[in-house]
Chains A and B, each alone.
Chain A
Amino acid sequence: MKRMCDRPAVRMSALCLFVPLLVMLGAVLHGADGHAVDLDAVLAGISAAHPLGCDALGRDVLARLAEGLMLSLGVGAVVIGIGALLGISIGLAAGWFGGLVDSLLMRLADIVLSFPGILLAIALAAMLGPGVDKLVLALVAVGWVGFARLSRAQVMSLKHTPFVDAAVASGSGSVYIGIRHLLPNIAAPLLVEASFGLAAVIIGEAGLSFLGIGVQPPDASLGTMIREGTGLMLVSPLLVVWPGVVLFMLVMAVNLLGDALRDHLDVRGARS
């Protein structure tokens, strides 16, 4: 078996990750404040004082990129964390108990899946109103489904294996079996799901913010930066290039990592 870090996808992933890392490192070394408005530096070009220039309010682009990147990763981690916890619990319960619990929970999952792409998250976030907390809520409401369906399917296939029968026969409770016996055996596909899910959440956060229903000014998100840059394309085209490159590289890195994990753990049928 090939070692994980010998896979070409992992090397490519590291290469892509280099761009976001460079932005973070640069911002830390540069130390500018992404919220400081400087009207003398409106749409300033690349200079020593502002390595990637300034936006329409004279704010340092590098500092804002780093802030947006932190937000992307933060939202991604929180949404995947909560979504996985919720989805896996639901999936374990549905797969293990079966019957009415199962059909009710899976109908709910079907309904969530009836909305293409991030449409449901867009609608929920629009109704809930602006703000990062509502953004997270909207993305979690969509994100748990993948975990739930996957863990349910896995549990169903493990339910009647000898080691589970043995655990039941020795008097273990449902929760104990779920955590101690089932979870470790279904961890591999869930890990792959989490990595592809992370890429989707990062794009989702930026997409909602791009539409103006996620992160609100003056806070920086890669999505809001792309939107602001699009409006200033004729004057200062680089403003739309930077946040996109950083976002794209981050998503590529996560997707490649997911590919590598899938091949390494030999998971079939996970999202491609």
Chain B
Amino acid sequence: MLLRLVLLRLLQAVPTLLGVATLVFLMLHLVPGDPVDALLGEMALPADREALRHALNLDAPLWQQYVQFMAGLAGGDWGRSLLDQRPVLELIAERLPATARLAGASLLLALLLALPLGLWAARHAGRRQDMAAMGFSLLGVSIPNFWLGPMLMLLFSVGLGWLPVSGMDQPGSIVLPAITLGTALAAVLSRMARSSWLEAMSSDPIRTARAMGVGDTLLWWRHAGRMAAIPVLTMFALQLGAVLGGAVITETVFDWPGLGLLTIEAIQQRNYPLVQGCVLLIACFYVLANLAADVLAMWLDPRQRRI
């Protein structure tokens, strides 16, 4: 039963992924005028222009370009970097481990910070502690990560000299990027933890359990905890994909050599095939993370197993 639902969801994700790939394909045609002019300038030799036009596959009719693009994606040929002719997938694969490390560290940090904070706020709902915790959450949502990063750098690297400013070679160099990326996640997650715990505590089964004399601790941790875990875990799975979007800016701030920095470098070099590859990969990962969140929710909560 569950397996069938998972397969159904996978099938539903296919048109979305196709749409995403189409949009990414069309992006190259958004470049105003001629991408070849944008890259080579108008003074370039006709032979060079033809060569680049061919490299970008712009000399075929649009539908043929589209078919070739999609066939290439399916066959693992995501095009070549304009700069050094290396396959886009190879360049991406080189940078993935760094991004995975950063994303893992910030998700862990977010979880460790958000769960106790959300619970603490829920236990003291409406009181000063709750206000403080939710104040932190509001700060976390409102602070732009491209400013939080430099501020942390200013304080901990320049001012106190505790941590390296950027790069990822020194010990401790992951700390500041992970905090920068994890803060917004922690803020969202702690709000979610608070509200779902409060909702669970005011639900009928908990009220019944309380009326039957179940102790407060057991009620909070076991009964309400189980109910609240579903939305929190689902939210966490959603963040798994969202964190890659945030990594684009965070990696740029800290010069962290991951997928996000690669995207920005490709944009600055107008390396269009590489931009397309990076954006497509991040979007695909995001769609799959959302799918995983759906499946997780169905697995944890049988009520959601309706089609």
Contact = CB atoms under 8 A, between A and B. Distances in A.
Interface string A185-226: 000000000000001000100110011110000000001001
- Give the residue among B15, B32, B151, B286 with the most A Cβ atoms within 10 A: B151
A209 to B, nearest CB: 10
A247 B142 CA distance: 9
Contact of B144 (A116, A206, A230): A206
B146 A119 contact: no
B146 A114 contact: no
Contacts of B249: 207, 210-211
A230 B23 contact: no
A133 B182 CA distance: 32
Given A212-B268, A237-B158, A207 B242 contact: no
A229 B139 CA distance: 22
A223 B146 contact: yes
Interface string A94-131: 00000000000001101100111111101110111100
A107 B22 CA distance: 13
B27 A123 contact: yes
A115 B146 contact: no
A272 interface: yes
A15 to B, nearest CB: 13
A233 B150 contact: yes
A234 interface: yes
A233 B158 contact: yes
A206 B23 CA distance: 25
Interface residues of A, number: 46
Nearest to B184: A117
4 closest A-B pairs by beta carbon, nearest first, are A116-B245, A117-B245, A244-B147, A111-B19
Interface of A: 107-108, 110-111, 114-120, 122-124, 126-129, 199, 203, 206-207, 210-213, 223, 226-227, 229-230, 233-234, 237, 240-241, 243-244, 247-248, 251-252, 255-256, 259, 272
Interface of B: 15-17, 19-20, 23-24, 27-28, 30-32, 38, 138-139, 141-144, 146-147, 150-151, 153-154, 158, 191, 195, 241-246, 248-249, 252-253, 263-264, 267-268, 272, 275, 279, 282-283, 286-287
12 contacts: A116-B241, A116-B244, A119-B282, A127-B28, A127-B272, A207-B146, A210-B249, A211-B249, A211-B267, A233-B153, A233-B154, A244-B150
